[in-house]
Amino acid sequence: MMSFFRKPLFSDNRFIFGIYGILALFVSIRTLINMDSNNYQIFYYSLAHLIDGKNLYLLYPAEYGDHYHYAPTFAALFAPIFALPFSVGLFLWHLLFTAVWVYAIYRMPLTHSQKVVAYWFSMQELITSLVNSQTNPLIAALSLFAFVSFEKRQLFWAAFFIIVGFNIKIYSLVAAALFLLYPQKLRFLAYMVLWGVVLGLLPLLFTSPDQLVWQYENWVTQLMLKSDYDKWANTSIHKLVHLTISPDISTSAIIGAGVVLFCTVYWRVQQFNQRWFKMLLLASVLIFQVIFNPVAESPTYIIAVTGVMIWWFYCPQTWLDRGLLISCLVLTVLSPSDIFPRFLRELLVTPYALKALPCVLIWFRLLYLMHTMKPMPATPAMVPIQTPSQS
């Protein structure tokens, strides 16, 4: 795999960015021709509903199917796009999120060859999200931007990216777990509060204070309803647990167990300054917010696959790691595509949530690595991965 990516053409950023641009352009044109983007319709009409004082969270069958699930701030944040004619905003939507995700990978403290692998490996997964006009590439990018900001000690911007993510998808708040690895924790928490207030009040540009309070009440109610979603309709660890252990295990119990496992790595305080530890925690953050999301869908997995790439660059790359990566490529990345046999997708992958399985196993693997990696001297530079004492 690596020898392929080292070929001059396939490792040239201009070629890679060009491919991503063409794919995003293709998706935009296809979506415009078919005019079948229900997700973007939900997003687009949110600004008009906010301005008109309508309940953002009711069904509006004349405009779109399903519910709006985002914070009122979401409508205000993307007002420059939603204020454009529908077709223009829809066209730009896919190009914008593709560019943001590609740029986020570019900004990461990875080698050029690692970024090249990440671009090629994740390409199909990004397309899966784009064809559904989802915000997930942005959510993945925001966690990466927050990490880069932490590394540069720019806590003000780290807090900003995390709060923006929260106002789009609340599970992206998991990225705040990174702050425990860095100094000036109280300052970061203060910035979180500051940005929470600023962005929380941003919709006042379009509505009154009373209306905004009412919209937030409606949002909380909608989140409660969404959390009770059919347990068999998700693609996450929740469905895997309900299928293999018991359908009676509650959503809160599964999430609670996940949070406890996630936090167990913090006892290794002596490793907080190590680059590999920070990167694996970032990978854990990205994967966790998808696999423990009780309403995760296939297009959500661009977030988890981004985390898988970071894990791959810092794992020992043993036969076990290679097997997990290949399973992720086949079941997570390729299974929703036309490359994958349709009868296998309908018979096995979708009913048994097999798209989620590789990411779940990789998450447990990276937790193991974070617990067993041998101590190394602290250094701000990138350090090579060390083989755990037991593999």
Q: Which of 222, 226, 362, 357 is nearest to 294 (CA)?
A: 226
Residues written for the chain:
391
Q: Which of 325, 332, 330 is nearest to 357 (CA)?
A: 332
**CA separation for the pair 311, 359 (Å, rounded):** 11
Tens-place pLDDT, residues 264-306: 999 998 899 999 999 999 999 999 999 999 989 999 999 999 9
Assess contact for 241 and 295: CB atoms under 8 A. no
For residue 77, is pLDDT > 70? yes
- Residues whose CB is less than 8 angstroms from the CB of residue 117 and which lie 6 or more positions away in sequence, other chains included: 1, 2, 5, 309, 312, 313
**CA separation for the pair 310, 145 (Å, rounded):** 14
Rounded mean pLDDT, 217-243? 81
For residue 383, is pLDDT > 90? no
Residue 77, SS3 per DSSP: helix
Q: Which amino acid does the sequence have at 311?
A: W
In this structure, the number of other CB atoms found within 10 A of the CB of residue 351 comes to 12
For residue 203, is pLDDT > 60? yes
176 token code pair:
């705040």
Q: Cα Rg for the chain, rounded, in angstroms? A: 21
Q: Which amino acid does the sequence have at 320?
A: L
For residue 182, is pLDDT > 90? yes
Rounded mean pLDDT, 26-46? 88
pLDDT band at 4 (very low <50, low <70, confident <90, very high): low
Q: Which amino acid does the sequence have at 289?
A: Q
Q: Which of 360, 359, 335, 344 is nearest to 241 (CA)?
A: 360
Tell me how many degrees the CA angle 144-257-375 measures, rounded to the nearest 5: 60
**Prediction pTM value:** 0.92
Q: Which of 310, 323, 305 is nearest to 391 (CA)?
A: 323
**CA separation for the pair 175, 157 (Å, rounded):** 13
Write out the E strands in the chain: none
**Mean pLDDT, the chain, whole residue set:** 90
**CA separation for the pair 290, 130 (Å, rounded):** 17
For residue 239, is pLDDT > 50? yes
Give the CA count within 13 Å in the CB-facing half-sphere of 166. 18
Q: Which of 315, 381, 376 is nearest to 151 (CA)?
A: 381
pLDDT band at 384 (very low <50, low <70, confident <90, very high): very low
Model pLDDT, residue 234: 86
Tens-place pLDDT, residues 326-374: 999 999 999 999 899 999 999 999 999 999 999 999 999 999 999 998 7
